[in-house]
Structure 1
């Protein structure tokens, strides 16, 4: 029984991180990628509102405004709305005094949280497409144009751009691991979109048809994920445009990255509960398959299975008759492999705390770090210790500014 449970746990982890990608790739090869049955042809320049939540982001604002105004899209059809609600660093006053009518600002001294501010901002939007992007990111000049092109397909209700992490040799192992993770995640998103729909957008850059936006509960942590999945649940697909990207620096330190990961993981469990209806394959079909395989397994299944693999492996080896089993060398090798993997991950963590880098530790460290953060996120969610208030995380470039 222990061996059976161990094999099941191993297979679930392998499916989550390797098998799902292979299955989706094979399905695309067999069936072919998704193609719209009808598309809008000719000139397609709908009016767009670029919405930028900016809580105490004064240091980023000049670059973000310049980047937004530099988008290669008809200027008369691009609206720019900064949401500075609750900021105490003079962001609202600076934007209004410096840029005047070129941009709009939704301010105020009351801090109600990012989601409440976004809900209010959407009430002001009169354009058919709304694009959300973070203040601390830089978009490529074609980002808006490429995102909008996806809406030629009437069945596309939302579109996600790509998040790219800027790392240099001098930056942390966490940053390098984060960059590697997002490259892997971007490939999975590409396959998801080719099969049917991606399952969750990243807040750094995503767009929605304004008419499909539904106000989100104000204590929601992963608003971008909830918004896009609810649109998918209404029968629209969420497209993916990897050539429209948002550049972002990695977290400043392992402490900052851990805070971010734990919060995201807590939001993942919150999302699973609020999107429980999407777990019905008889109603949602392929969307359920993608959602469970790519998201639910990543947040709720794999982290628990990793703990079970270690514990079950140990229990098997401690059985009195273990040495007589034909599989004893296999279980011994598995335990040795786990010990080595986690030892390297632990060493990577210690080096990271000292701001040292060892490339060989990137994958073990970040993989372990990500799954431990998921378990901490579960504890945080069960305790109810979360809110929708903005939590600003320091980024590597901010350390340079401060110096």
Structure 2
């Protein structure tokens, strides 16, 4: 029982903190032995590029998104912009048709984002394809900073950075921003060690000729598309100077909705990307994938529960002070999270409670996502989470 308690605790620690520490050390060692990874691309000789923007009923912010897109730096003759508005029931298509330099793809039937992306990809003829969402805004040099990495023939995909705006009056969803800052650090180190393990749909790109259509029922299309490329032996680079800026979820309920969908897609991806679990295929990539993704999406939330239950049993059986202190620590953490939930219901915002509350929400979402996937309750078309205005 003590063995399983410590094994559970250590895996939980490794998943959320230990991997980051180990990754940081490995990157430092790599720099000492090999040196930093460098990109010596000539920004005056960039590849041709298509920017695909998926949009579903985003008429309220569409003009702002288009203005942001048209202001992006990239050689004009090398860039094509495509908006896909399949299923949109507002006046999004009419707005986009006002701009002669933008290509519109629209179908009244809503079959999901992945179907819309497949349809758009059939018309792409450029060297690279960049994907982004209509509810995010890119920095001016985002496209250039992404495209320059393709001068390296080992690079098959480039992931941009997701940044979440946080203001002083933020509620518990502010922890989403803190979480993404930590994730960004892990991705930087992942990329320098070998490869990022998956890209986020807010901003990522691929070599067009490496595109593999994924199954129509795929939930995390961005993640699957990028890792199918990694399966072929290409690296996924991380570029923090190409970022997509978005507001946090409107409230923790909306954030939970998003997290559950991601978790359902995560367990689906783990089951479909079996080759990445084989260390004999690509040891470093498997190590990164299992450490950064698989543990979070499979056993770690269950181990959190197991560690708490076993700690209680051990205290009752041994009466050992050390285990009593460990139990007190666990209990205090969950009490802080529960307090965060109570205060959230009353719109009382104490930032110190954001992290434990958000941490518990994340892990609950994984459990709910696994349940949803097992019982086939996660649809490809979903009600998107509302964002703060």
- Short-chain TM bin: over 0.9
Q: 1:12 to 1:47 in 2, by over 3 A?
A: same
- 1:305 Cα deviation (Å)? 1.0
Question: Per-residue CA shift, 1:121-172, capped at 9, x if unaligned?
Answer: 1001111111001100010001001000111111000000100000111222
Whichever structure has more helix as a proportion of its residues is 1
For 1:173 and 1:80, how far apart are their aligned partners in 2? 36
What number of residue pairs does the alignment pair up?
Answer: 386
Residue of structure 2 equivalent to 1:35: 37
Counterpart Cα distance in 2 of 1:40 and 1:167: 34
Superposition map of 1:2-401 within 5 A: 2-32=1-31, 35=37, 43-96=44-97, 98-99=98-99, 101-174=100-173, 176-319=174-317, 322-323=318-319, 328-397=320-389
Alpha-carbon distance in 1 for matches of 2:354, 2:298: 23
Q: CA deviation at 1:390?
A: 4.2
* Alpha-carbon displacement from aligned partner over 1:46-102 (angstroms, at most 9, x marks no partner): 211110100111112101111110011112211110110010012112211x21x21
CA-based RMSD of the aligned residues comes to 1.4
**CA distance in structure 2 between the aligned counterparts of 1:280 and 1:265, rounded to whole angstroms:** 22
Cα deviation for residue 365 of structure 1 reads 0.8
> What are the superposed Cα offsets for residues 207-245 of structure 1, whole Å, 9 maximum, x if unpaired?
000000111111111111101111001000000000111
Post-superposition offset of 1:353? 2.7
C-alpha deviation, 1:43, in angstroms: 3.1
CA distance 1:86–1:297, shift in 2 (3 Å)? same
| Alpha-carbon displacement from aligned partner over 1:319-341 (angstroms, at most 9, x marks no partner) | 2xx12xxxx11111111111111
Q: How far has the Cα of 1:391 moved from its partner?
A: 2.8
Following the alignment from structure 2 to structure 1, what is the Cα–Cα distance between the partners of residues 43 and 301? 48
SS in 1 for 2:281: helix
* TM score, norm. by length of structure 1: 0.93
Give the distance between the partners of 2:40 and 2:303, measured in 1 at CA.
Answer: 44
- Could you list the structure 1 runs, at least 4 aligned residues long, displaced by more than 4 angstroms after superposition: 38-42
| 1:255 to partner: Cα distance | 1.3
CA contact 1:178–1:250 (8 Å) conserved in 2: yes
Q: Any gaps of 5 or more consecutive residues in structure 2? A: none
Q: 1:39 to 1:23 in 2, by over 3 A?
A: same
Q: Given that residues 160 and 206 in structure 1 are in contact (C-alpha distance below 8 angstroms), is that contact kept between their aligned partners in structure 2?
A: yes
Equivalent-residue separation in structure 2 for 1:288 and 1:85 (angstroms): 36
Query: Residue 55 of structure 1 contacts residue 390 of structure 1 at CA under 8 Å; is this kept in 2?
Result: no
Partner Cα separation in structure 1 for residue 385 and residue 103 of structure 2: 25
Residues 42 and 364 (structure 1), Cα distance of their counterparts in 2 relative to 1, 3 Å cut: closer
Question: How far apart, CA to CA, are the structure 1 residues paired with 2:40 and 2:243?
Answer: 23
Q: Counterpart of 1:400? A: none
Whether the 8 Å contact between 1:251 and 1:393 is mirrored in structure 2 is: yes
> Comparing 355-364 with 272-281, which one deviates more in the overlay?
355-364
Please state whether the residue corresponding to 2:104 is helix, strand or coil: strand
Cα shift at 1:40: 5.6
